[in-house]
Amino acid sequence: EVQLVQSGAEVKKPGESLKISCKGSGYSFISHWIGWVRQKPGKGLEWMGIIYPGDSDTKYSPSFQGQVTISADKSISTAYLQWSSLKASDTAIYYCARREGGPAAMDVWGKGTTVTVSS
């Protein structure tokens, strides 16, 4: 079964750093892109960026460029999303999702990681 398993919920203070993960299984991890999507409370989906674990090619939404870092460790089939200094406005659910390539859909999604940033 193809799965993306995300790390657990996090509660952090403003200014702290954070790295959340997304582990793929049941398919060739290096042959599919992994994207990250933010959903703030009661709001819609926002596309943050995407990485191709095979060569670490990464693309960021202009809205998130410089605000987060997307990476992957293909040896353990895991993608990451990290912040160096969290803000309260980063409070959201973060989903990872798989894409084959080209204009393909994001066909498999993780269950999401809830990040709460509060003093």
Partner 1 sequence: SYVLTQPPSVSVAPGKTARITCGGNNIGSKSVHWYQQKPGQAPVLVIYYNSDRPSGIPERFSGSNSGNTATLTISRVEGGDEADYYCQVWDNSDHGVFGGGTKLTVL
* Chain positions contacting partner 1, by CB under 8 A: 35, 37, 44-47, 50, 59-62, 95, 97, 103-107, 109-112
State in angstroms the smallest separation of the CB of 46 from partner 1.
Answer: 7
Three-state SS at 1: coil
| Per-residue b or e along 90-105, where b marks 16 or more CB atoms closer than 10 Å to that residue's CB | bbbbbbbbbbeeeeee
Query: Please, which residue, 83 or 98, has the CB nearer to partner 1?
Result: 98
State in angstroms the smallest separation of the CB of 108 from partner 1.
Answer: 8
State in angstroms the smallest separation of the CB of 93 from partner 1.
Answer: 9
Angle (CA) 66-61-72 rounded to 5° is 70
Three-state SS at 30: helix
Query: Please, which residue, 49 or 86, has the CB nearer to partner 1?
Result: 49
Query: Please, which residue, 61 or 69, has the CB nearer to partner 1?
Result: 61
Three-state SS at 22: strand
